[in-house]
Structure 1
Amino acid sequence: MNLKNINIGKSIKNRVEELQISNERICRFLHCNDSEIEKMYDSHSIDCELLLRWSKLLEYDFFRLYVGHLILYSPMPKNTPLQASSMHTNKHLTFRKNIYTQEIKDFIISKVKSGSMTVSQITATYNIPKTTICKWIVKN
């Protein structure tokens, strides 16, 4: 899965084929016809309400693909005024563990195994701690 360029229609179509769900069932659930479904399969983006319905029907969180993209390609800038003010008002900030989805872990591990990026490059590019990446590699 390419998290940099998400093609949601293709991802939905792959999941439908994986689960072998009939177009008739999809049409009933989404209140649309076959041609509209084919347009959705070909589209690069889908309305949030519709994506939520697809997620329920296919029992897969398609929003997670976008969250993965945000984690990898849109890191929060450090020391912004918003972060500084929230640190003063909230004394009990906690570090969130497990913010990385399995798709992200697989993506990072594939970069290291293929040799396209080193652990140091990944750390610099995506702001993922080196120890975290090494743990993922050891587990796989």
Structure 2
Amino acid sequence: MNIDFKDIHIGSLIQTRVMEMGIDMNRICSNMKLKEEEINNMYQQDTLETKVLLKWCKLLEYDFFRFFSQHLILFTSPMGANYNRPTDSVLPQFRKNLYTKEVIFYILEIIESNEKTHLEVINDYKIPKSTLRRWMVKYKIR
């Protein structure tokens, strides 16, 4: 499945995971405390409330929030990329971006297709040059 990190449709991603796991609809309805029709309606939604999404994460043992984190990593403008830097906030500070294999492959595909140069990827996505080199060696990209 090719994931579009720019336009995330969370309902279809959840439905894909349900099918992969082969979970019975009765178990889903019981866990979510919803009717089958409401579950099927969720599969059509491109957004869900965070509490509902958290329930899906627990039921399906999958971090669906990661899609949104990856979106921030890839598509936050260079001026707005300060969300990951230390501040005086009482909120926890996350020290490091985590790149999933899907994001790594997405970035390497951009380079392979000549959509962007190495330098453009480094500048646009704020990926360290050494990290990009490691990915290229590991996944045998030119």
TM-score, length basis structure 1: 0.81
CA distance in 1, matches of 2:5, 2:128: 19
Contact 1:75 1:127 in 2 (8 A): no
CA distance in 2, matches of 1:137, 1:26: 41
Taking structure 1 as reference, are residues 31 and 85 closer, same or farther at Cα in structure 2, changes over 3 Å only?
closer
Does the 8 A contact of 1:7 with 1:43 survive in 2?
A: yes
Q: How many aligned positions are there?
A: 130
* Contact 2:11 2:45 survives alignment (8 Å): yes
Point out the structure with max Rg over C-alpha: 1
Q: Is the contact made by 2:73 and 2:97 (CA closer than 8 Å) also made in structure 1?
A: no
What TM-score do the two structures reach when normalised by structure 2?
A: 0.80
Q: CA RMSD in A?
A: 2.5
How many percent identity over aligned positions?
A: 39
CA distance, structure 2, for counterparts of residue 105 and residue 84 of structure 1: 25
Residue 38 of structure 1, CA deviation: 1.0
The list of structure 1 runs, each at least 4 consecutive aligned residues, that deviate by more than 3 angstroms after superposition, is 75-78, 83-86, 95-98
* Shift in Å, 1:136: 0.6
Residue 16 of structure 1 and its aligned partner are, at CA, apart by 0.7
The C-alpha deviation readout for 1:26-77, integer Å capped at 9, x for no partner, is: 1011000111111110001000000000000110000011011111111563
More displaced stretch, 113-122 vs 52-61: 113-122
1:58 aligned to which of 35, 56, 60: 60
Worse overlay, 104-113 or 35-44:
104-113
Q: 2:71 aligns with which of 64, 69, 78?
A: 69
Match of residue 104 from structure 1: 103
Give the alignment partner of residue 28 of structure 1, picking from 30, 34, 56. Answer: 30
> 2:91 — aligned with what?
none
Give unmatched runs, 5+ long, in structure 1.
87-94
Deviation at 1:23, TM superposition (A): 0.9
CA contact (8 A) 2:9 2:46 kept: yes
What runs of 5+ residues in structure 2 fail to find an aligned partner? 89-93
Corresponding letter in the other structure for 1:135: R
